[in-house]
Chains A and B, each alone.
Chain A
Amino acid sequence: MALRTLGRQTWLWKLLSFALFFGAWEIAGRIPISLSFPPFWDTFVAFVTMTFNGDFAGAYAQTVQPLIIGIVISAVVGIGSGVVMGLWRTMEWLLVVVFIILYAAPVAAIIPLVTYIYGIGLTSKVIAVVIMALPLIVLNCYKGVRHTHPSLIEMVRSFQGTRWQEIRMIILPNASSLVFAGLRLGVGAGFIGVVLAELLITPTGIGDLITYHRAVADYAEMFADITSIIALSAVTLAALLKMESLVRPETRKR
């Protein structure tokens, strides 16, 4: 009976999941699978060391600049364009092709072109983030706005709502779930963009740390760097989910 109550504690299962993963990692590292694959414990020690000796702080101070600028631009332009495209057919025909191509294009191949035009500074890195994040945000937002359930539109018309009321009170709130989904995907893609930029353009921030530690064969440190960016990305997405539940109270579990 007590076992069943214990079984229902979700945090316990999540902890177990982490424990199993880290355990497998530790074993794989000790075999070893490869000389450049460190066991979990070494990576963990490196992670803690770099957190407290300022390496991570210094690196992220540089990485977050293009990341935040890029994501803010992508969110504002993305949601704006998505809404406009969803509401006006002409805009849709004009813009949707651009964003689909951008979405489908392999960014790593475009970055050298960006570097050629914009140089190797902050601008190029911001552009890399925007190229990754913007199409996802636009396309999801546009889909959310355009595919409003027709019976909701009919309902607001049956109560003599104006077009503006239709947009403000039905179309936009209805699109909010896809807008947030787009933001989550966009932020995740933005992280990929900034790391790619830091690896391919010039090394700064966390990209620099990864490149450096790889070059000097400090594999535990390199894995710790990679883990740190994954962790940051996960925490950011969790924060986005929390923000969504504040803006959309109907998603809260009761």
Chain B
Amino acid sequence: MPQAVLKMIQTPAEMIVEVDGIAMRYEGGVQALKGVDLKIPAGRLTSFLGPSGCGKTTLLKIIAGLLVPTEGEVRIRGARVAGPGPDRAFVFQDFALMPWATVIRNVAFGLELRGVAKDARHEIARKYIAEVGLAGFEESYPHELSGGMRQRVGLARALAVDADILMMDEPFASVDEQTRRKFQEDLLELLAKERKTVIFVTHSIEEAVYVSDQVVLLSPRPGRVQQIIDTEVDRSKTPDEIRRDKNYLDRVDEIWAILKTYLR
């Protein structure tokens, strides 16, 4: 029986992330991004959507502090981003789990790097392992888990460090359709509880509209912000109802119409 998703409280949001004139040129001459200006609201889920190669993952990594842009700057609450920080956590597309460590050690890893004592960090890890639905698998190794379970470990690890901003790089790309839908629903429930700002990279239009409050459309390489679309989807409905909601379907069509022009 599908759980009704909690309604997101619509209050005017503080713009927690400001992207100002970002350009990224890789060694070898590839211009991934050019002149990207963007503001991301706190406590909401924003997704980056666009054709392959448009620079969405590059932009995400620049905000995370994992890449240094060739031009421009990113500010978080007014402070310039100079590298990774405790206010941001990243969920990787290929999970990036340590194969030699158990689930609980992987989830507690962010805390271990900070020097948190073993008992304390394992207790926190257990809580988030349960929250992502992996209770009982604390002592398993990643190779004993399915792809979907490994991704949940990655998510639990990012939640465990209690960062304000969660960045997810195509987190559901490596799982099958049924698991993917379930994850989208679970993610919304989880985030309503955790109240974080989430930036999500995806190449699925349906996923972007279903999950996010606003969709940032990027143009093909060199990527720049084509358009920002508010999804205005009523999240008090059940997941199945949302997927039939007129607003949802209209947004998907709207976005598809824009992306189609890139194919020509």
By a CB distance below 8 angstroms, the chain B residues around A165 are 113
CB pair A155–B92 under 8 Å, yes or no, is yes
Q: Report the bound CA distance from A174 to B86 in whole Å.
A: 25
CA distance A165 to B141 in the complex (A): 21
Apart from A151-B96, A176-B100, A254-B144, what are 19 other A-B pairs with CB-CB below 8 Å?
A152-B96, A152-B98, A154-B92, A155-B90, A156-B113, A157-B84, A158-B64, A158-B66, A158-B84, A158-B89, A159-B89, A159-B161, A160-B83, A160-B85, A160-B113, A169-B113, A173-B101, A174-B98, A250-B100
Chain B residues contacting A7 (CB-CB under 8 Å) are none
Does A161 touch B at the CB level, under 8 Å?
Answer: yes
Per the bound structure, the CA–CA distance linking A170 and B101 in Å amounts to: 10
Determine the interface band of chain A, counting residues with CB < 8 A from chain B: 20 to 34
Q: Provided the pairs A159-B161, A250-B143 are in contact, do residues A154 and B113 lie with their beta carbons within 8 angstroms?
A: no
Q: Sort A-B residue pairs by CB-CB distance and give the 4 closest, nearest first.
A: A155-B96, A158-B90, A159-B110, A151-B96
How many chain-B residues does the 8 Å CB contact rule pick out? 26
| Interface residue B94 (Cβ < 8 Å from any Cβ of A) | yes
* Interface membership of chain B positions 88-127, coded 1 if the CB is closer than 8 angstroms to chain A and 0 otherwise: 1110101010111100000001101110000000000000
A153 — nearest CB in chain B belongs to which residue? B96
B62 CB to closest chain A CB, in angstroms? 13
Please, which residues of chain B bring their CB within 8 A of the CB of A157?
A: 66, 84
Residue A248, interface by CB 8 Å: yes
CB-based nearest A residue for B67: A154
The answer to whether A250 and B141 touch across the interface, beta carbons within 8 angstroms, is: yes
Residue ID in chain B nearest A162 by CB atoms: B113
Which parts of A146-183 form the interface with B (CB within 8 Å)? 149, 151-152, 154-161, 165, 169-170, 173-174, 176
Q: Is the interface of A mostly helix, strand, loop or mixed?
A: helix
Which residue of B has the minimal Cβ distance to A159? B110
CB contacts (< 8 Å) of B112 on chain A: these are 169
A160 touches B84 (CB 8 A): yes
A-B Cβ contacts below 8 A, count = 53
0/1 per residue, A132-154, Cβ < 8 Å to B? 00000000000000000101101
Shortest Cβ distance from B118 into chain A, in angstroms?
Answer: 14
Interface set of A (CB-CB < 8 Å, partner B):
149, 151-152, 154-161, 165, 169-170, 173-174, 176, 248, 250, 254
Closest residue of A by beta carbon distance from B88:
A158
In the bound complex, residues from chain B placing their C-beta under 8 Å from that of A160 are 83-86, 113-114
Q: Flag if B64 contacts A161 (CB, 8 Å).
A: no
How long is the Cα–Cα vector from A154 to B114 in the complex, in angstroms? 16
Please determine whether A248 and B113 come into contact, CB atoms closer than 8 angstroms: no
Q: In whole angstroms, what is the CA distance A254 to B143 when docked?
A: 12
Q: Are A170 and B98 in contact (CB under 8 A)?
A: yes
A158 and B98 CA atoms in complex are apart in Å by 14
Using known A-B contacts A160-B84, A160-B86, A250-B143, determine if residue A154 contacts B96 with beta carbons closer than 8 Å.
yes
Please give, as numbers and ranges, the residues of chain B lying within 8 Å of A158 by CB-CB distance: 64-66, 84, 88-90
Q: Give every chain A residue within 8 A of B88 (Cβ-Cβ).
A: 158
Set of chain A residues within 8 Å of B144, measured between Cβ atoms: 254
- Asked whether, in the complex, the Cβ of A151 is within 8 Å of the Cβ of B94, the reply is yes
Within the assembled complex, what's the spacing in Å between the Cα atoms of A3 and B88?
Answer: 59
Most buried by A among B64, B84, B96: B96
Query: Which of A151, A160, A165, A173 has the most chain B CB atoms inside 10 A of its CB?
Result: A160
